[in-house]
Amino acid sequence: MSDEIDVRFERLAAAHDRSAFACEQPSLTDYLLKFAGQNERSDIAACFVALAPDSARILGYYTISAHAVLASELSPEQKKGMPGYDRIPAFLIGRLARDVTMKGRVWASCC
């Protein structure tokens, strides 16, 4: 049996089965179960879930949100080639988690 599993990524929706998700970090499990949907609807963070191709069961997830890096906190080398803004637009990966059943598995993105 191969340790590789095909997954597809979708934006979190009500149709996704969050109930069976469990991560070793209880706070990451709680976030998905209790707060991810609220943050999606409020446009605080976008939550993308990893699903098996034939299932709505969530195997993992990550969140991203708008962010900015203060130019004053960058070294001259890091500023090289950057626009002269006070704040550099960026994305922040806020949370990254996988279900305990996926421990040791390799994900191949599909679909």
- What is the pLDDT, as a whole number, of residue 98? 94
pLDDT of residue 107: 75
Of 64, 50, 62, the closest CA to residue 17 belongs to: 50
Q: Beta 106-109 vs 87-98: how paired, if at all?
A: unpaired
Rg of the Cα atoms in the chain = 17
pLDDT at 1 over 70: no
Per-residue pLDDT tens over the stretch 35-88? 999 999 999 999 999 998 788 889 999 999 999 999 999 999 998 988 888 999
pLDDT at residue 105 is higher than 90: no
Give, for 4, the enclosing helix (H) or strand (E): strand 4-11
